[in-house]
Amino acid sequence: MRRRQFLQSAAALSAGFHIASDLMARPKGPVYGHNGMRYAMDTRWSRADPLKNPVNDCHEMVQDAQGNIYLLTNETKNNILVFNRSGKLLRTWGHDFPGGHGLTLADEGGEQFLFITDTSRHQVYKATLDGRILLTIDAPIGPGLYKEAKEFVPTETAVDTNGDIYIADGYGQQHVLVYDAKGNLKHHFGGRGEGDKHLDNAHGICIDRRNGATTLLVTDRTRNCFKRFSLSGELLDIIRIPGACVCRPVIRGEHIYAAVLRSPVIGNEKSGFVTILDRENRVVSNIGGTEPVYENGKLKPLAQADKILVHPHDVMVDRDEDLYVAQWASGKVYPYKFRRVS
């Protein structure tokens, strides 16, 4: 009898523990997203003091091998802010990037480096994680490219394993410029124009190795799509995301994540959200956006559904598949964290 009572008590205690754990794990507020990729929002993730370490536009974020998170802002009091995953500010550096816009992390010989684009200085920089500049790439003045430096307004970089640097001139002449590891121009493609191989607001670029081949994904933000190119610049595919003025594509595992600056057109202010695509490049979830619906294989136009984001500019995905969203022209707010709940 005592044994039966003990087992019943133990079972009740165990059930109570699991119920309590489940309740603790559930988000306290709203959950955003679709199709098993849903997230709870934390607008107070950053524990930095805005009076001591202000931000202007929070442009992009990356995470290094130690798990530290680097934020690039165009506030020259502290262009780079380094956080741990809990939002504690660890250190800052940089006072010389008034147009700090693109931030890319690259691995080279067992070390990691940052590539920064500056839209005001019309340059691209390679830097150590503590801010020492190792390489500066200026506007490539010459026939068929740029007549003067101010025409070159780079917004993003991608770096291949051989050290080649791909620069998206998203606010300039819309070229994708390819350099070797020493900063020598090798070739270019894209450029402003109306044909599919041309670009309009080539805001972001990344290297995609998900399907066994190495290709480039380039943002064509005004036209609501990503364009896939070979490394030599041949157009291979167009991933259309109607209604989504996408920023740079960010690949984590089999998914593409992207901030949508505005929707459904670029002129519609304060209308952003985050979109997620699967391995087949189909939209599966929108955080703050409408549910993705396909009819006859085509995605119906997307739009903002929840006013939780103003002008999201970048998404960073950590090791737990939690998201961090940096925003442009959104009241100088620090990035928001979105914890994955399903």
Question: What 3-state class would DSSP assign to 271?
Answer: coil
Listed by start position, the domains of the chain span 30-340
Determine the Cα angle at 21 with ends 18 and 27, to 5°: 135
Task: Please give the single-letter amino acid code of residue 138.
Answer: D
Question: Residue 175 CA to chain centroid, in angstroms?
Answer: 20
What are the pLDDT tens digits along the chain (342 aa)? 455 554 455 554 454 544 444 444 566 789 999 999 999 999 999 999 999 999 999 999 999 999 999 999 999 999 999 999 999 999 999 999 999 999 999 999 999 999 999 999 999 999 999 999 999 999 999 988 999 999 999 999 999 999 999 999 999 999 999 999 999 999 999 999 999 999 999 999 999 999 999 999 999 999 999 999 999 999 999 999 999 999 999 999 999 999 999 999 999 999 999 999 999 999 999 999 999 999 999 999 999 999 999 999 999 999 999 999 999 999 999 999 999 998
C-alpha distances in Å from residue 48, one per residue of 53, 71, 78, 248, 335: 7, 12, 12, 26, 11
Q: Using an 8 Å Cβ cutoff, are 273 and 260 in contact?
A: yes
Please give the pLDDT value at position 18.
46
Q: Using an 8 Å Cβ cutoff, are 149 and 122 in contact?
A: yes
Residue 177, classified by CB atoms within 10 Å of its CB into exposed (0-12), middle (13-18) or buried (19+), is buried
Q: Using an 8 Å Cβ cutoff, are 121 and 113 in contact?
A: no
Distance between CA atoms of 104 and 102, rounded to whole angstroms? Answer: 7
Tally the C-alpha atoms within 13 A of residue 284's C-alpha that lie toward its C-beta.
14
Q: Using an 8 Å Cβ cutoff, are 124 and 117 in contact?
A: yes
Is the previous residue joined to 98 through a cis bond, with omega within 30 degrees of 0? no
pLDDT, one tens digit per residue, over 87-112 is 999 999 999 999 999 999 999 999 99
Closest CA to 207 of 129, 115, 119: 115
Distance between CA atoms of 250 and 204, rounded to whole angstroms? Answer: 9
Beta-strand relationship, 235-240 and 175-179: unpaired
Distance between CA atoms of 123 and 120, rounded to whole angstroms? Answer: 8
Distance between CA atoms of 338 and 52, rounded to whole angstroms? Answer: 25
Please identify which residue in the block is written with the tokens 């805005």: 50
Q: What is the CATH T-level fold of the domain 30-340, as seen in this structure?
A: Neuraminidase (2.120.10)
Radius of gyration for the chain, computed over Cα atoms and rounded to the nearest angstrom: 22
Q: Using an 8 Å Cβ cutoff, are 263 and 312 in contact?
A: no
pTM: 0.92
